[in-house]
């Protein structure tokens, strides 16, 4: 039986003032897959995510989510359909307590429909979600102002925010950046669990070693174009990819 | 010999548990501690209209009208929309009430609610395209709109043109009017404060912090902002409609800059984000301006200077200052001598 | 009818120059440091009154009086930045409220002191007039066109070819990079306030001789500056010129063919429609940058 792809992207393009940030990228994603998008700095990875999730309107190309066209829809609708994303630069609600940060996504129409919950309940669900991403319930951390959290914690908060939305597709934009090795090691089982639940996962990463422990298939972007697609081993064996990485900058640090 | 130094320590009274909106109350005393300030204000304000003379009754009326506009401003600011033109809501409410009673001869009992609701809907639709604007740009549009309405009314001579609409049906009398306004204003203060304690209010508050993350949280930012504008417009259009019937007249001054500047100054004075601060600010500013009436336009200069001093010097406003003092006490604790470097570092923090 | 048309053509040009000159200072400060100086109208009128005082109380000749005024207003701009804006830098609302309050304080102070009668006017630099195609134009108006174009060219050269100008533009484009290159943010913003204020003074000295000085001009000037800046977009001299021309002619055309009542409506409508339809202005580039999240 031919299964309908979760996400189908065809010929997606966007340029900013003459610079082609994303140029004719296409790929297809089956349900339950874990998928990586890699590439050197400035290769258009974040823009690609912004195009899929509606934060940027594409110049050309189309995006289908479970057979339904979602090209250029507003970001909140992408969530309603079941796509959640994290941001590379975590920007929480600094003036709210950490767990209150999650009450906002829990208030979205999608979370309301799937989780229900009245006032009071959402606080409880939020703290439960924080536990899942590794915040200890009985520590003071969930009750602190989000502005006081260190970077690694903010990244996990971002992940919790995605999970709060009960998504079918999760797009994580450089989740690992800013996390320590042990934090990454702590988060990997959770990602595996999410994947085992049948959720589809897209990860944009610079930290390839950690990424390849999670994803089965990757695409490589360079100057906005897709230059390779396949398993991590296949892709890293491609001369073009080697050229892109070695010829460009060293793949570490903040991205596009 | 080391000199004994003291530092100030702020101690919380320990009523708050974990976060701002969860209280651990364990005795009547603590309940009283929370309720008392609210009760005192209500008990002071409720009998007030009965003791005031005609002149000060009018002052109180204007105070409450400005307080309503300030509440409206504060709600907008709480979701990150900074209005420089509260006169827009005021004028729309006023003119609608005037129009309804001159055109169809409605009674104030109907015109005021109708103008309040219709005005709020109208203003929301009007501002809808501007909701995506950030920071100062939204302010600019609200700054320009009331002035635009004023000039259009002048140029087209609609709605009475420069003459305005007069001989509107009166309200039953200043004392009753004061009580109506008082109930509405207090209702707004407590209602808005309550609303911001709910999850819905949390979403609204989050809009100000960072609307990109709200959008990524699956919430339609534009739609929620529109709801906030509608809610915020209600007290202001009500104030406009009410004052129109009080004066039995509405004219171009309803869109004047005064109704934009006074509420804004009130909030800055009283402190934004708490709603009580907005009312407190109006209660200081409007009577003060009556006292200063003898100075002519110098009082505008005085407001402006006060405004600058507060914006720059005490940005939290009077209410937050008082609240802080009420919830915390300070004591001096001895401390060891610290090096100048450490002290400078501390100050910097 | 033909005379009318020539009239519109010439006075539209004059009006455009007036608008550009009026908003140059505001737009410069906004573009370079992001400070919307709502005291612009206040400073503009302040120039008019102190120059008048220099002329009538101290009996100075016009040129030194004008120069003094420009320098003083420029200094006031810096002082406003140092004392009032620096503590609230970055909080846009506070910046706007504080500068607006300063502007209102200046204007209402003069109103209170009774500076509202007919005696207050400034002399023209150049007397006399010329007839162009049957329309009488005085030299002062031609002078305004010249000074408007001159200043725009000067600013363009300043910001593109001098060290200071380049530093300021760098600051406006990327604060962090500029900081790392040793350009101090407060210095740059203070300077841009001083320059903007001095430009307001120059505009006042050139334009005020056309009529009487009255308090409400201060508020109108702010409105005009807002309209032109919103329409023209930030940090774009060309945008400023085109917006001035557009608005300048639009206002004269409505005034001539519709009714003078509608003239102010044009400015206000420009602000409202401009922001609602194209927030980045006709030539602004900021929108696209912001879209990049």
Ranges under pLDDT 50 in chain C: 1, 286-293
The confidence band for B20, taking pLDDT boundaries of 50, 70 and 90, is low
Report yes or no on C248 lying in a domain: no
pLDDT band at B14 (very low <50, low <70, confident <90, very high): low
* pLDDT band with cut points at 50, 70 and 90 for residue B343: very low
- CA separation for the pair B270, B323 (Å, rounded): 11
Give the closest-approach CA distance of C105 to chain B in angstroms.
Answer: 4
Size of interface B-C (CB pairs under 8 A): 110
Instruction: Provide the pLDDT for residue A120.
Output: 67
Q: Residue A226: which of A8, A6, A16, A11 has the closest Cα?
A: A11
Mean pLDDT of B317-340: 75
Give the alpha-carbon dihedral of B183, B186, B189, B192, to 10 degrees.
-30
Q: d(Cα B165, Cα A22) in Å, to the nearest integer?
A: 59
Q: What is the per-residue pLDDT for B21? A: 53
Q: Give residue-wise pLDDT tens across range B157-188.
A: 888 888 889 888 988 889 999 999 999 999 99
Residue A256 lies in a domain: no
Rounded to 5°, the CA angle A134-A139-A145 comes to 90
A111 within domain boundaries: yes
* Tens-digit pLDDT profile for residues A104-113: 999 998 988 8
Q: How many other C-beta atoms can be found within 10 angstroms of the C-beta atom of residue C52?
A: 20
> DSSP labels for A184-217?
HHHHHHHHHHHHHTT-EEEEE-S-HHHHHTT-SE
DSSP assignment, residue A224? T
What pLDDT, on the 0 to 100 scale, is given for residue B22? 56
Asked if B311 lies within 8 A of C94 by C-beta distance, the reply is: yes
> C293, A16: Cβ pair inside 8 Å?
no
* B213: Cα separation from own chain's centroid: 27
- B209 vs C58, more confident: C58
**Cα(B21)–Cα(A105) distance, integer angstroms:** 19
Structural contact between residues B273 and B77, judged by C-beta atoms closer than 8 angstroms:
yes
Q: Is position A190 within any domain?
A: yes
pLDDT in tens, A19-64: 888 999 999 999 888 999 998 888 889 899 999 999 888 999 999 9
Domain total for chain A? 1
Q: How many domains does chain C have?
A: 1
> Which of A13, B265, B347 has its CA nearest to residue C98?
B265
Nearest to A108 by CA among C8, C234, C80, B200: B200
pLDDT at position C285 is 54
Chain B residues with CB under 8 Å of A107 CB are 199-200, 202-203, 217, 219
Angle, CA of A14, A20 and A21, to the nearest 5°: 65
Residue pLDDT, tens place only, C156-173:
888 788 888 887 777 777
H/E run at residue A26: strand A19-29
pLDDT of the residue at C284: 57
- Residues in chain B closer than 8 A to C268 (CB atoms): 144-145, 147-148, 151
In a domain, C183, yes or no: yes
Contact check, Cβ <8 Å, C108/B141: no
Task: State the pLDDT at residue A79.
Answer: 93
Number of domains, chain B? 1
Please report the pLDDT score of residue C48 as a whole number: 92
* Band (B18; pLDDT cuts 50, 70, 90): very low
Indicate whether B139 pLDDT > 80. Answer: yes
Distance CA A160, CA A191 (A): 11
Q: Which two structure tokens, joined as six digits, stand for C157?
A: 């050269």
CA distance C289 to chain A (A): 8
Q: Do B213 and A95 touch (CB under 8 A)?
A: no
Interhelix angle B87-104/B221-247, nearest 10 degrees: 60
Average pLDDT over residues A78-102: 89
Does residue C96 fall inside a structural domain?
Answer: yes
| Domain assignment of residue B298, yes or no | no
What domain range is C63 assigned to?
Answer: 2-227
Would you say B153 and B159 are in contact if contact means Cβ atoms under 8 Å apart?
Answer: yes
Round to whole Å and give the CA distance between C240 and C248.
12
Q: Give the gap in angstroms from C-alpha A160 to the nearest C-alpha of chain C.
A: 21
Identify the pLDDT of residue C202: 93
Given a contact cutoff of 8 angstroms between Cβ atoms, the answer to whether C5 and C203 are in contact is no
Q: How many residues does chain B have?
A: 349
Please report, for the domain that includes residue A144, its CATH number: 3.40.50.300
Label the pairing between strands A200-204 and B165-166: unpaired
Closest-CA distance of chain A to residue C54, Å = 51
SS3 state at B249:
strand
pLDDT tens by residue, A173-231: 988 888 888 888 888 888 988 888 889 999 998 888 888 888 889 999 988 899 889 99
Read off the DSSP letter of residue A97. B
Q: Is residue C44 part of a domain?
A: yes
Question: Which residues form the domain of A237?
Answer: 7-247
Compute the distance between CA of residue A184 and CA of residue A206 in angstroms, rounded to an integer: 13
Contact C238, C39 (CB under 8 A): no
> How much is the pLDDT for A132?
87
pLDDT of residue B321: 87
Q: In 3-state terms, what secondary structure has residue B240?
A: helix
Beta strands in B268-314 (DSSP E): none
**ipTM value for the complex:** 0.85
Candidates B217, B219, B316: best to mutate against A (most CBs of A within 10 A) is B217
Q: Are A146 and A98 in contact (CB under 8 A)?
A: yes
pLDDT, position A252: 44
* Residue B346 pLDDT > 60: no
Structure tokens at A208: 């390839």
Rg over alpha carbons for chain A, rounded to the nearest Å, is 18
What value does the mean pLDDT of chain B take?
Answer: 86
Cα–Cα distance measured from residue A104 to residue A92, given in angstroms and rounded to the nearest whole number: 11
Residues in chain B closer than 8 A to A164 (CB atoms): 217
Q: Which residue of B has its CA nearest to A107?
A: B199
User: What's the number of CA atoms in the CB half-sphere (13 Å) around residue A248?
Assistant: 19
B128 touches B145 (CB < 8 A): no
Q: Is residue A252 part of a domain?
A: no
Binning pLDDT at 50, 70 and 90, where does residue B341 land? very low
Q: Which stretches of chain B sit within 8 Å of chain A by CB?
A: 18-20, 198-200, 202-203, 205-206, 209-210, 212-221
- Return the residue of C nearest to A48 by Cα: C292
Q: B8 in a domain, yes or no? A: no
Mean pLDDT, range A76-88, rounded to an integer: 92
- Looking at residue C291, its pLDDT comes to 35
φ/ψ bin of C278: left (φ > 0), alpha (ψ from -120 to 50), beta (otherwise): beta
- Torsions phi, psi for A61 (to 5 deg): 95, 165
Q: pLDDT, tens digit, for every residue of B96-135?
A: 999 999 999 889 999 999 999 999 999 999 999 888 887 7
What pLDDT, on the 0 to 100 scale, is given for residue A114? 84
Q: Per the domain annotation, does B44 fall within a domain?
A: no
Is C205 inside any structural domain?
A: yes
Which chains touch C (3+ CB pairs under 8 A)? A, B
Average per-residue pLDDT for chain A: 86
Q: Where in the sequence is the domain holding B92, given as residue range(s)?
A: 54-257
pLDDT of residue A254: 38
Put simply, whether B292 touches C (Cβ < 8 Å) is no
State both tokens at B174.
């200043």
Q: How far apart are CA B283 and CA B71, in angstroms?
A: 12
Closest CA to B217 of A246, A71, A93, A27: A93
Contact status, residue B5 vs residue B336, Cβ threshold 8 Å? yes
Q: Is the pLDDT of residue A67 over 60?
A: yes
Q: What is the DSSP string of A27-74?
A: EEE-TT-EEEEE-STTSSHHHHHHHHHTSS--SEEEEEETTEE-TT--
Pairing of strands A83-85, A169-173: parallel
Asked if residue C233 is part of any domain, the answer here is no
Residue B62 within a domain: yes
């Amino acid at each position: 039986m031919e299964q309908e792809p979760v996400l189908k992207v065809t010929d997606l393009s966007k340029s900013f003032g003459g610079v082609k940030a994303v140029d004719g990228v296409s790929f297809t994603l089956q349900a339950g897959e874990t998928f990586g998008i890699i590439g050197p700095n400035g290769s258009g990875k974040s823009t690609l995510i912004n195009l899929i999730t509606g934060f940027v309107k594409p110049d050309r190309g189309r995006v289908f989510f479970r057979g339904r066209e979602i090209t250029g829809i507003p970001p909140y609708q992408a969530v309603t359909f079941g796509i959640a994303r994290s941001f590379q630069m975590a920007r929480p609600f600094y003036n709210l307590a950490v767990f209150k940060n999650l009450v906002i996504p829990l208030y979205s129409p999608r979370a309301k429909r799937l989780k229900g919950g009245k006032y009071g309940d959402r606080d409880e669900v939020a703290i439960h979600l924080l536990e899942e991403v590794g915040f200890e319930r009985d520590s003071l951390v969930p009750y602190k102002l989000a502005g006081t959290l260190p970077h690694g914690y903010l990244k996990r908060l971002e992940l919790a925010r995605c999970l709060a939305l009960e998504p079918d597709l999760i797009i994580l934009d450089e989740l690992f950046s800013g996390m320590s090795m042990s934090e990454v090691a702590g988060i990997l089982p959770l990602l595996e669990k999410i994947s085992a639940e049948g959720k589809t996962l897209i990860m944009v990463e610079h930290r390839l070693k950690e990424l390849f422990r999670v994803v089965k298939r990757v695409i490589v972007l360079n100057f906005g174009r897709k230059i390779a697609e396949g398993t991590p081993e296949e892709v890293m064996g491609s001369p073009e990819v080697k050229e892109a990485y070695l010829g460009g900058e060293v793949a570490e640090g903040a991205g596009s | 010999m080391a000199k004994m130094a003291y530092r100030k320590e702020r101690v919380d009274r320990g009523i708050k548990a974990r976060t701002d909106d969860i209280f651990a109350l364990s005795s009547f005393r603590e309940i009283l501690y929370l309720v008392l300030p609210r009760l005192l204000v209500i008990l002071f304000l409720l009998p007030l209209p009965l003791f005031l003379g005609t002149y000060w009754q009018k002052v109180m009326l204007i105070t409450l009208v400005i307080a309503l506009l300030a509440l409206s401003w504060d709600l907008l600011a709480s979701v990150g929309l900074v209005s420089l033109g509260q006169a827009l809501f005021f004028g729309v409410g006023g003119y609608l009430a005037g129009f309804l009673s001159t055109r169809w001869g409605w009674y104030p009992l109907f015109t005021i609610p109708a103008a309040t609701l219709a005005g709020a809907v109208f203003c929301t639709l009007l501002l809808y395209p501007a909701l995506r604007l950030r920071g100062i740009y939204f302010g600019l549009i609200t700054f320009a709109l009331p002035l635009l309405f004023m000039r259009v009314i002048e140029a087209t001579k609609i709605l009475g043109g420069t003459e305005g609409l007069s001989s509107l049906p009166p309200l039953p009398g200043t004392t009753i009017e004061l009580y109506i306004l008082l109930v509405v204003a207090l209702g707004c203060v407590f209602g808005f404060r309550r609303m911001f304690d709910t999850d819905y209010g949390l979403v609204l508050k989050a809009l100000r912090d960072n609307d990109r993350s709200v959008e990524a949280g699956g919430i339609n930012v534009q739609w929620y902002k529109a709801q906030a504008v509608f809610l915020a417009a209600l007290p202001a259009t009500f104030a406009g409609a009410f004052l129109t019937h009080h004066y039995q007249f509405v004219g171009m001054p309803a869109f004047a800059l005064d109704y934009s500047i006074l509420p804004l100054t009130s909030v800055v004075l009283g402190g934004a984000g708490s709603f009580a601060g907005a009312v407190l600010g109006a209660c200081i500013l409007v009577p003060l301006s009556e006292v200063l009436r003898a100075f002519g336009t110098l009082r505008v200069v005085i407001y402006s200077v006060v405004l600058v001093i507060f914006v720059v010097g005490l940005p939290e406003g009077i209410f937050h200052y008082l609240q802080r003092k009420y919830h915390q006490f300070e004591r001096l604790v001895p401390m060891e001598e610290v090096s100048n470097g450490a002290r400078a570092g501390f100050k910097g923090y | 009818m033909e005379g009318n048309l020539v009239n519109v053509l010439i006075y539209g040009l004059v009006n455009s120059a007036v608008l550009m000159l009026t908003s140059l200072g505001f737009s410069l400060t906004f573009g370079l440091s992001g400070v919307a100086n709502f005291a612009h109208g206040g400073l503009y009128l302040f120039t008019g009154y102190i120059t008048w005082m220099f002329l009538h109380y101290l009996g100075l000749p016009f040129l030194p009086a004008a120069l003094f005024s420009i320098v003083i207003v420029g200094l006031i701009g810096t002082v406003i930045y140092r004392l009032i804006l620096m503590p609230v830098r970055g909080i846009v609302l506070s910046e706007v409220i504080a500068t607006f309050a300063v502007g209102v304080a200046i204007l209402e102070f003069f109103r209170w002191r009774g500076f509202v009668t007919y005696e207050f006017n400034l002399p023209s630099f150049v007397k006399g007039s010329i007839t162009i195609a049957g329309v009488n134009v005085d030299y002062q108006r031609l002078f305004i066109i010249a000074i408007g174009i001159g200043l725009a060219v000067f600013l363009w050269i300043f910001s593109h070819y001098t060290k200071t100008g380049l530093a300021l533009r760098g600051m406006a484009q990327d604060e962090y990079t500029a900081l790392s290159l040793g350009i101090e943010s407060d210095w740059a913003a203070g300077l841009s306030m001083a320059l903007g204020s001095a430009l307001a003074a120059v505009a006042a000295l050139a334009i005020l001789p056309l009529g009487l000085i009255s308090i409400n001009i201060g508020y109108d000037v702010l409105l005009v500056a807002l309209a032109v800046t919103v329409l023209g977009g930030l940090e774009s001299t060309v945008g400023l010129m085109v917006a001035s021309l557009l608005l300048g002619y639009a206002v004269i055309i409505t005034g001539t063919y519709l009714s003078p009542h509608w003239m102010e409506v044009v400015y206000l409508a420009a602000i409202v429609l401009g922001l609602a339809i194209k927030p980045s202005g006709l030539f602004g580039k900021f929108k696209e940058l912001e879209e990049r999240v």
